[in-house]
């Protein structure tokens, strides 16, 4: 479909942190820096790890906790270094079919929520079953990139 795509993601490891009781924008800021310190060497091997994209944020309906995640680069998937910050953890996300809606520009929490609602409406109208109680935001660009920005919202297929 031209307004969304269905992707199959393989099982993969991500490094994550959960920020509680902040706005989504503030949670993204705090979470990004915790994860950035991890890839800069704040891990048991004091190893620098390449920055990857996307940076995801798990948004759950009616919940003020946000899980921010970086994808672990392929060369570290087998054994990512353990974080030394107790708020940072590695997790394995199981293979999944994910409905994806892409959009440009600078994405705010409001813009992500709006795009997620558009995607949910499209999926419901087409009879596509999906987990409606949460979605992920996915950002692909540095804050310094001004043009041709790429953002996504993800719903998991049921």
Residues spanned by the domain of 83: 5-156
pLDDT averaged per 10 residues in sequence order, the chain, 158 residues: 93 98 95 97 97 96 95 97 98 98 96 98 97 98 92 98
What pLDDT score does 1 carry?
Answer: 67
CA distance 122 to 120: 5
Residues 6+ apart with CB under 8 A from 72: 12, 13, 14, 15, 49, 52, 80, 90
What pLDDT score does 2 carry?
Answer: 82
Angle between helices 109-125 and 24-39 (to 10 degrees): 100
What pLDDT score does 92 carry?
Answer: 98
**CATH at residue 110:** 3.20.80.10
What pLDDT score does 71 carry?
Answer: 97
**What's the domain count of the chain?**
1
What pLDDT score does 24 carry?
Answer: 95
């Amino acid at each position: 479909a031209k307004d969304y795509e269905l992707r199959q993601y393989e099982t993969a490891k991500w490094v994550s942190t959960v920020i509680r009781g902040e706005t989504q924008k503030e949670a993204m800021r705090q979470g990004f820096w915790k994860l950035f310190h991890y890839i800069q060497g704040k891990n048991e091997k004091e190893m620098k790890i390449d920055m990857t994209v996307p940076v995801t944020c798990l948004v759950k309906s009616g919940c003020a906790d946000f899980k921010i995640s970086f994808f672990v680069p392929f060369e570290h998937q087998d054994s990512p270094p353990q974080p030394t910050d107790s708020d940072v953890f590695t997790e394995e996300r199981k293979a999944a079919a994910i409905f994806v809606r892409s959009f440009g520009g600078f994405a705010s929490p409001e813009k992500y929520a709006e795009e997620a609602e558009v995607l949910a409406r499209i999926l419901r109208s087409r009879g596509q079953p999906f987990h409606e109680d949460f979605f992920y935001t996915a950002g692909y660009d540095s804050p310094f990139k001004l043009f041709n920005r790429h953002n996504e919202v993800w719903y998991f297929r049921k």
